[in-house]
Structure 1
Amino acid sequence: MWRIFRFMGYKVQVKVFDEGSQFGISEFPRISKMCVHKGNKWLLNYDRGWDFNDLSPTAYKLLLKFLEWAL
């Protein structure tokens, strides 16, 4: 199921499943796809593998904490 969130000025879209998968993000295996952008700039894209992650390590960790709570 696709979920869309606003977090710290970012727009976050994730495709999340009930159970983890080998194609999921290692820190959050239930997420198989995720994209993050702010304005017109894409900062993160994961589609069953990393395309790019230009978020700062701190912002990425905060995002994962938020997703743990939200999902």
Structure 2
Amino acid sequence: MQAYQLETFGRVDGIVLRQQPQPEPGPTDIVIRVRAASLNRRDTMILQETYPLPAKRNLVPLSDGAGEVVAAKVVILGA
């Protein structure tokens, strides 16, 4: 799969497209194939390191997107 990652803070060209292995969902996770995404104010604040919470390198900058669920784990509660 391909994913945009934030590798360098402070510059838009610090967001780079990388090839990654398909993630496996955990017991409470789903995997989404993103079909549409946007960079919004929160994403630019993270890029500029002005967002109140710290961000890690290789973050996938996505606050707003749409897609389809492609993998999920089934968890049966109360069985």
Alignment TM-score > 0.5, same fold: no
Larger Rg: 2
More helix by percentage: 1
Provide the TM-score with structure 2 as the length reference.
Answer: 0.21
More strand by percentage: 1
Relative contact order: is structure 1 or structure 2 higher (C-alpha 8 Å, sep ≥ 6)? 2
Provide the TM-score with structure 1 as the length reference.
Answer: 0.23
